[in-house]
Structure 1
Amino acid sequence: MHRISDDYPSGRGYLAACTLGLPTIGTRDAVALDLERWAAGSASAADYSATVERARGHAATLLGAAAEQVAVGSQVSVFAGLVAASAAPGAEVLCIDGDFSSIVAPFLARGDLRVRHVPLDALADEIRSSTAIVSASLVQSATGEVLDAASVSRASRDAGALLMLDTTQATGWMPTDELDADVVVCHAYKWLSAPRGAAFAAFSDRAVAELTPHTAGWYSGQDPWASCYGPDLHLADGARRFDVSPAWHAWAGAEAALAFAASLDQRDVHVHDLALANAFRARLGLEASDSAIVTWPDADGCDLAALTAAGITASGRAGRARVAFHLWNDEEDVELAAAALGRTGALAATR
């Protein structure tokens, strides 16, 4: 029987999908083939464009959007910057206190916006009629906490606020195809296990109409090959107007990675990842959660050091140790991490 973990060349003890995903064998081979073709002089711009279009379709599937609603780019902060640049002077922007900088800094950098930071669990209640933009991560990078997106969406709609959600720490381990937001942004190098430098975003009709494509270039036309030169401005009718010319080699791997992710039942992935994360929480004496990311206080870094010494790849953020469980992990990874922290007794008690 084929196991999904067999699609990965390695993964034992790797608990860092929330930092950097691992490529499947297919993604690794796609990147290697691309380098070979490039070195041989057989790579072509037309082929890269076709690869990007296939990737756009896979990204659309993962976000529950049509391909025409999806823009491709390189970084989340670029898409967030478009939202920030289009805000009216003095507009109120609501963010989660301690959220990832890429969806906060573009608004602060404007200097003329009123940016408020509130606790994650208070976000929906803090949306007011004066709120113009809500910018939030669906899953918090530092803590792994999951936003009540439905409540935030309803409150944003009631207030007339434009809602931007960052799903970089969500898409790939939990379903993100039913989000109600104006802009949904995602970088694919974490849970989707693509090379870094491949990001995408889905735009609502409202967002397409209200946001200015400040990064417009040759790739922002409906047909990039017909919009290479001035003097005219060439803009696609839909979200493609926000395209940033793709880093071709990154997208060669991203297309394979996104195709793999889109082929999976994301609800099954969600169940798998959560089961492992909650099994590990039980070893630590923590309550079950709805996140595949497990974090706990580790101000002196001792727990992270213990995991590292045991050959486990983990991470630390904001004074907390952080591990993540994904497709290449199984119960043995839970046991290895628990043993590294001296929690074998807790492990035995759960059996």
Structure 2
Amino acid sequence: MDPLFDPADFRIPAGVTHVCAAGETAALRVHDQALLQYLVDKSLGMSGRAAQEAQVEAARAGVARLWGVTAGDIGFVANVAEGVSIVAGSLDWRDGDAIAIDAEEYPSVVGPIALRRNPAIRLLQARGGEPDRLARIADGRTRIIAASSVSYLTGERIDLHALRAIADRVGALLLVDFTQASGYLPIEASLADFAFSACYKWMLGITGVAVAYWNRARQPDWSPASAGWHSFAPGGRGYDPPPALRPDAMRFTRGNPAHGPVYVLNGALSYLARHDRLDVQRHVQTLTTALLDGLRPRRLPITTPYDPARHGASVCFTAPDAASVVAALHQKGVYAWNGHGRVRISFHGYNGMADVDRILEAL
């Protein structure tokens, strides 16, 4: 099976198998022009600012198409942790309130809530690999169920429909991080009350901007507890009374969004739009399944579920010397990722079956 994307469109060094999309994807070559255009527009005064704002609106529309929502539901933050912090700060927490998470959830999803004081928030932590593990821990004082749609640690894909049902049963918000899914999996953002995603992995962007989604149908009265100039509706002056917030998800965006990364994101979204999302999903999961099949005889401690319905685009196995393994693979021209005691191999559209063969040989 050949690559779905043309590898020549990316800055992949010659002779390299690039399989670390869950950490950083290879950059598109068109990003050079996008960043240059940003610098040109930045230098044009007010007309340049209008051009920058047009890029922001185009990016919102592009993400909305990717996630199956409206552009008004999409805003931008600097990173996922910032977005989660804004949601956490908007709630009237009471003693005994809790959030329900997987014990190995990504820190950006948990940290902004776990470190809150006055009151401290209980952490209900699900352990193990059973698909229904979060259902067993959520209680009537659970204010948020927070989850990554695909685990950064194991590559496990979570059943968001089941989480929505749990959240509705206990009266909690469902907060989802789509970072490890957006760009190759179809995204059903409307299941969440709030959702976020970094843009520098499968979405093919760069760091500096992240997607923030506000489900205005489910949470029409939501308002952040803090704001910046960009969060307010344009045109107001003075603070008596305080100015109105923007009516859409751009109230997440306290100051200027990172315009340079937004220009890059627009180019990335245009590139992804050339391909049907189901084709991208089918492509990467064919590769992950082939790698899992190839690894089975080696009896490695694989933590990724074998069933494609339960995994994303990554294959992970535990290794106490993961850093050494990844360094050795790098020397053989295979760019993988390590951390947290595991090796992670992640595919995107620029990979093909020859990469699977090369990985197995290098291992």
TM-score (norm 2): 0.86
Report the CA distance between 1:56 and its aligned residue: 0.6
Identify the residue that residue 194 of structure 2 maps to in structure 1.
183
Give deviations 1:248-288, integer Å, cap 9, x for gaps: 11111112112322443111110000111111111211645
Give deviations 1:154-206, integer Å, cap 9, x for gaps: 11112211100000011011111355110111111111011111111221236
| Aligned mates of 1:22, 1:40 — CA distance in 2 | 31
| Aligned mates of 2:321, 2:3 — CA distance in 1 | 42
Is structure 2 residue 276 aligned with structure 1 residue 276? no
Greater shift in the superposed pair: 61-70 or 321-330? 61-70
Identify the residue that residue 67 of structure 2 maps to in structure 1.
63
Identify the residue that residue 89 of structure 1 maps to in structure 2.
94
Identify the residue that residue 30 of structure 1 maps to in structure 2.
34
| Aligned mates of 2:19, 2:45 — CA distance in 1 | 38
* CA distance 1:300–1:74, shift in 2 (3 Å): same
| Aligned mates of 2:295, 2:333 — CA distance in 1 | 19
> Which amino acid letter does the alignment assign opposite residue 76 of structure 1?
V
Aligned 8 A contact 2:63 2:74 in 1: yes
Is structure 2 residue 345 aligned with structure 1 residue 323? yes
Identify the residue that residue 299 of structure 2 maps to in structure 1.
none
Q: 48, 51, 66: which is aligned to 2:55?
A: 51
> Which amino acid letter does the alignment assign opposite residue 170 of structure 2?
A
Report the CA distance between 1:328 and its aligned residue: 1.0
Q: 332, 344, 347: which is aligned to 1:310?
A: 332
> Which amino acid letter does the alignment assign opposite residue 98 of structure 1?
E
* CA distance 1:236–1:166, shift in 2 (3 Å): same
Identify the residue that residue 297 of structure 1 maps to in structure 2.
318
Give deviations 1:310-339, integer Å, cap 9, x for gaps: 121111121110110001111121122111
Identify the residue that residue 229 of structure 2 maps to in structure 1.
218
| Aligned mates of 2:196, 2:44 — CA distance in 1 | 35
| Aligned mates of 1:239, 1:92 — CA distance in 2 | 25
Identify the residue that residue 346 of structure 1 maps to in structure 2.
none
* CA distance 1:306–1:176, shift in 2 (3 Å): same
Identify the residue that residue 8 of structure 1 maps to in structure 2.
9
Report the CA distance between 1:89 and its aligned residue: 2.5
**3-state SS of 1:143 partner:** coil
Report the CA distance between 1:105 and its aligned residue: 0.4
Aligned 8 A contact 1:16 1:324 in 2: yes
Identify the residue that residue 158 of structure 2 maps to in structure 1.
147
Aligned 8 A contact 2:87 2:224 in 1: no
**3-state SS of 1:205 partner:** coil
| Aligned mates of 2:192, 2:42 — CA distance in 1 | 39
Greater shift in the superposed pair: 61-70 or 287-296? 287-296
Report the aligned-residue RMSD: 2.4
Q: Unaligned 5+ residue runs, structure 1? A: 342-351
> Which amino acid letter does the alignment assign opposite residue 243 of structure 1?
T
* CA distance 1:46–1:208, shift in 2 (3 Å): farther
| Aligned mates of 1:320, 1:237 — CA distance in 2 | 43
**3-state SS of 1:257 partner:** helix
* CA distance 1:328–1:126, shift in 2 (3 Å): same
